[in-house]
Amino acid sequence: MQRLCISQIISKIENEECFHAVAEDYSFTLKIDSYVHYVCGAVHDGHQFRKELWDNCLHTEYERWYEEDPETKNMVASHPIVIAGMDSRFEYDLNRAPDTAIYIDAWGKQLWKNPLPEAQKEKSLQKHANFYKVVHALINKIETKFGVCVVYDMHSYNWKRWDREVPTWNLGTSNIDNNRFGNDVETWRQSLSELELPNGIKSTSKVNDTFQGNGYFLKFITQNFQNTLVLATEIAKVYCDEYEYIMYPEVVAAVEEQLKTRLVTHANAFYQTHK
């Protein structure tokens, strides 16, 4: 893996080079093993929280972890193109627009003891801006090369906070062209429902049951690119104990292993349909 500045990353994409990189400020990673018609993203995978913010933050590390999406990068790590955040959404949220990317409060609890200085906000928002410069260059390259692109936008959610039965997988589709891509949504939902998970975990899947796909990552790509489908794909945190702060690596491994084939099968069918 190389440490590269934003202009170097974009130059490599434009020149269709394969590479593994971490951004110069360590805010995100991008690997491209080959240029294919699909991309995997994990914008909430990050847990880093820069030290200058610690003393001013009212949330504990556990409270931050609870709202992040740990292991979502690892679930798609085997695929050729993977872009993932390294910083916590509590520093800046890559799945929100720039004007709301820095939290004032989070899930009903005030986040900062004192308002953030403008210089600290700007440092965070520059990371956010740089990430989206690279996203734009990446999707532009894939669309230009293949005519179409499908993005698997991986997230997780805290299922135990719901007071009703919720699905293992939720697809959010309120901001995509469902007339054009409805069949692709349904085949992805069906495929996810067929995963076999350890420990007796059922793999149920629904559309717009818990979340509707209102994230900025999806909206940014959809609004800028006419031939790219973003599938906001949320897994309930059945791969950990969200209250006890314990990971279940065998569940993560089972998801990752089965997505090696299921995701590729879906992406190839998407390409054959829409190219």
> pLDDT (tens digit, 9 = 90+) per residue, 194-249?
999 999 999 999 999 999 999 999 999 999 999 999 999 999 999 999 999 999 99
Note the pTM of the prediction, 2 decimals: 0.97
Domain ranges across the chain? 2-274
172 Cα distance to chain centroid? 13
2-274, which class in CATH? Answer: alpha beta
Task: List pLDDT tens digits, range 142-166.
Answer: 999 999 999 999 999 999 999 999 9
Alpha-carbon distance of 261 to 256, in angstroms, equals 9
**Cβ burial 124-152 (10 Å sphere, 16+ → b, else e):** beebbebbbebbbbbbbbbbeebebbbbb
Cβ–Cβ < 8 Å for 27, 127: yes
CA distances to 75, 106, 137, 251 from 257, rounded to whole Å, are 8, 34, 29, 10
Q: pLDDT at position 76, please? A: 98
Low-confidence ranges of the chain (pLDDT < 70): none
